[in-house]
Structure 1
Amino acid sequence: MSIRHYAIALSIVIALVLQIMPMPAIADLYRPDWVLLVLSYWALALPNKVNVGVAFITGLILDILLGTSMGVHSFAMCLCIYVLATNYKRLRNYSVWQQSIIIGVIAALYNSVIFWLQHLITDIYFLFDYLWPVASSMVIWPWLFWLLRKIRRQLRLH
């Protein structure tokens, strides 16, 4: 078996590592939602292989790694990937810069759902700092898109 068979799973594992990697507190505020970005790319590029089921399992793994209540990231991830998967034909036709704005909206939805679920469970309060990952995810999207597309084409994933 070649790396071709594990490319999607390997990219998700790398995103999980980037999501939990320790960073200085000031840089951690701006950490992009790596897992959401990688799943978003694969849901747009290969919706028959990466769908809501993959998002659910990946979200549960993220809940375990981050120590949050079970199902918080999973539910938010499923909701976002569902929106992308149902509109993938339309979204693929947008330029990468237009997709970046859509990814910003999706990341805002993701972070808002996580905030509201955490607020219901633990009674946390909203801070504007919760939205910095939305901006950084929008900025990272074009480069991540081009990198993953190059990998997908070189490995002939379809």
Structure 2
Amino acid sequence: MIEKINGRGAIIGSLFIALILAIIPLPLIADAFRPDWVLVCVFYWTIALPHRTNVGIAFVVGFILDLLLGSTLGVRALAMSIVAYIAATNFTRLRNFSVWQQALVVGGLTGLAKIVVFWAEYLVQDIQLPSGYFYPVITTTVAWPWIFLLLRKLRRQWKIS
């Protein structure tokens, strides 16, 4: 019973830290390159423990991120849900990829999420595509191996299953 509470707490704690990293103020130049911490965290927990982290959790976390960023409600929730669905349906295949192959998949899914967010925002607000809009795809792809190793160490050390 205590291990389940610790496991649930570790997953919620890592998602909470990812949410904080997503809203922490950065200089404009650095903010353009901010990795998508929440998406990466949701992706990791979905492929590592698909029975504990699923599309519903991704939707809730995306909705909370919409609230924190002050954007149109449901936009990031939709994007996170799509990413979590793709990860959950292919988790056995994704687990067998090397970390570098997973990084490419994470980059592709981050790009997909950015396109979904832009498309949904465009339907509501008629916005223009900023020049550095896809820079986070590159930084998220580069950051994936370290985030993967950190979260895997956390999962193994606390025996989360």
- Calculate the TM-score normalised by the size of structure 2: 0.96
Pairing partner for 1:78 from 52, 56, 81: 81
Q: Which amino acid aligns with 2:79?
A: A
1:20 corresponds in structure 2 to 23
The aligned counterpart of 1:104 is: 107
Q: Which amino acid aligns with 1:157?
A: I
Distance, in Å, in 1 between the alignment partners of 2:47 and 2:87 is 7
5+ residue gaps, structure 1, are none
Deviation at 1:125, TM superposition (A): 1.1
Structure 1 residue ranges, 4+ long, deviating more than 4 angstroms after superposition:
none
Matched, 1:31 2:34: yes
Match for residue 71 of structure 2 among 61, 68, 83: 68
Residue correspondence of structure 1 range 7-156 to structure 2 within 5 A: 7-156=10-159
Give SS of 2:51's match: coil
Cα distance per residue 1:113-134 (max 9 Å; x no partner)? 0001111111111133110000
Q: How many residues align?
A: 158
Q: Which moved more, 1:18-27 or 1:124-133?
A: 124-133
What RMSD, in angstroms, separates the aligned Cα atoms of the two structures? 1.0
Counterpart residue type for residue 90 of structure 2: N
Identity rate of aligned residues, in percent? 48
